[in-house]
Amino acid sequence: MTRDRSEWEAEAPTWSTERAGRLSRTVDTVTPAFEPPDDDPAAAVHQWDTWQVRDRHGEVISIDGWQVLISLTASADLLPGKRHDVATLRYFYSRNGRDWELGGTVFDGAALGQRQWAGSAVYDDGELFVFYTAAGDEESEELDYSQRIAVGHGGSVSTSGESVEIGGPWTHEILLEPDGEYYETQAQSRGMIYTFRDPWPFQDPETGEQYLLFEANTPVPERSDRCDGDPQRQEFNGCIGIAHSPTGDLLEWEFEPPLFEAVCVNQELERPHVVYKDGQYYLFCSSHLHTFAPGVHGFDGLYGFVADSLHGDYSPLNDAGLVVANPANRPYQSYSWMAFGHGEELLVQSFLNYHDFGGHSLDDIGELPAEEQKRRFGGTLGPTLRLSYEGDKTRIRGVLDHWHLPGPDEELPELAADWPPDDLVLKTEDEPQSGDRSGQTEYYR
Ligand code: FRU
């Protein structure tokens, strides 16, 4: 049962224009320059959004001593920009969290959607649940951008001394479709890139209640008074959605009002997830430089907010919300960051995106010759970042190798004493600043 709009709109924690307007890179949030790894375990595919198999509480697990990852992938023969249209889930496994083998595709071809987008996986009582975005209508001949939240369940994970095999038979179900009240439908959307995707389950450790987070948009009716009635800024209506499972069943979800909103600030709060530490809920999402509303200048980066309950009043980390940003001269270096707790530290994995490109708009990549586009795209996992986090502050304190995802019991090496490096690039001369609307208009439909 949905509530009256005025009630929940007033209550939803928001990323205010004022706070977001103070976004800037700092030595605590900017990463060094990264190159692709010497050894890519899956050079034949482009690889991007990646998630570790977890238990229903949200903890990263190992299965008979193996860690398992699932990634969006596409043939490396394709132009990187085309990968979203053919995304396929593939899995990787590792004994030591450093050396990974490509296992194969997760599903046997019968998954929902024209292709599958991100993405999370829960191993519960011997059954693998792979939550995904059914992107595009499988009944339609034409490529389309509809998005539904789906699951493949009934999957098995067989292990031997040498390898891991994920197998079916899978049962695929649509779990959630936007309702048009709390979550915008594609027909309602009138701005830029539409979103209803990236499911991520989380069990609240304080209440034991089971939730599913996802990326969505809040419906903002035309002529509403949001964003001081400015219709252009109203088109930026990203939110982090949440659904509840009253029985704990991973297949039964009921919408709740958005957990967090960025109306007037940003269009895409991607791959939302929570890390719980000492009574604090750290809510993270990735976002793009080009999805900030006119007048707010952000970065391709990981953003975060903290509250003292899951449904709490989230406050931006580090004042404005920036947790990890790419170097200013490599603004598209990495993307799709996923944080997980490890002892006292916060570890963050991501993929290498257009690591070798200094322009201010991704549109310019498409102008380059095909081989150049491929060369500049990483399409593999980048180094894992090590952060400290306490209260509403985070700080990058070091990096682990590419693809190094320590298991829960792995002891991390000492932090380097000479961090931060002195060549971090916080700013470029010609970078647009908050208040400057240039470089954003081309993303409108
Ligand atoms: C982030 C993302 C996800 C989506 C996927 C599609 O990199 O936009 O939100 O599921 O890429 O390829």
Q: CB count, 10 Å around CB of 173?
A: 13
Index of the ligand 1 atom closest to the CA of residue 117 = 10
User: What pLDDT score does 434 carry?
Assistant: 57
Sign (positive or negative) of CA dihedral 414, 418, 423, 425: positive
Nearest residue by C-alpha to atom 9 in ligand 1: 270
133 alpha carbon to ligand 1 midpoint, in Å? 9
49 alpha carbon to ligand 1 midpoint, in Å? 7
Residues with CB under 6 A from ligand 1: 48-49, 72, 84, 87, 117-118, 133, 197-198, 215, 270-271, 335-336
Q: CB count, 10 Å around CB of 422?
A: 6
- Report the candidate in 260, 214, 224, 217 with the shortest Cα–Cα distance to residue 238: 217
Q: What is the DSSP string of 343-362?
A: TTEEEEEEEEEE-S---S-G
Peptide bond into 169 cis (omega under 30): yes
- Report the candidate in 97, 93, 55, 98 with the shortest Cα–Cα distance to residue 71: 93
Index of the ligand 1 atom closest to the CA of residue 270 = 9
Element of type H or E holding 372: helix 370-376
Instruction: List, by residue number, the catalytic residues.
Output: 49, 270
Output the CA angle 92-95-97, nearest 5 degrees.
70
386 alpha carbon to ligand 1 midpoint, in Å? 23
10 alpha carbon to ligand 1 midpoint, in Å? 29
Burial group, residue 74, by CB count within 10 angstroms (0-12, 13-18, 19+): buried
Index of the ligand 1 atom closest to the CA of residue 195 = 9
pLDDT in tens, the chain (445 residues): 556 667 777 778 999 999 999 999 999 999 999 999 999 999 999 999 999 999 999 999 999 999 999 999 999 999 999 999 999 999 999 999 999 999 999 998 889 999 999 999 999 999 999 999 999 999 999 999 999 999 999 999 999 999 999 999 999 999 999 999 999 999 999 877 899 999 999 999 999 999 999 999 999 998 899 999 999 999 999 999 999 999 999 999 999 999 999 999 999 999 999 999 999 999 999 999 999 999 999 999 999 999 999 999 999 999 999 999 999 999 999 999 999 999 999 999 999 999 999 887 888 898 999 999 999 999 999 999 999 999 999 999 999 999 999 998 999 999 999 999 999 999 988 776 654 444 433 332 2
Element of type H or E holding 68: strand 67-75
User: What pLDDT score does 11 carry?
Assistant: 77
User: What pLDDT score does 445 carry?
Assistant: 22
Per DSSP bridges, beta strands 45-54 and 115-124 are parallel
d(Cα 153, Cα 195) in Å, to the nearest integer?
Answer: 24
Query: With the CA atoms of 444, 11, 58 and 43 taken in that order, what torsion angle do they form, in degrees rounded to the nearest 10?
Result: 10
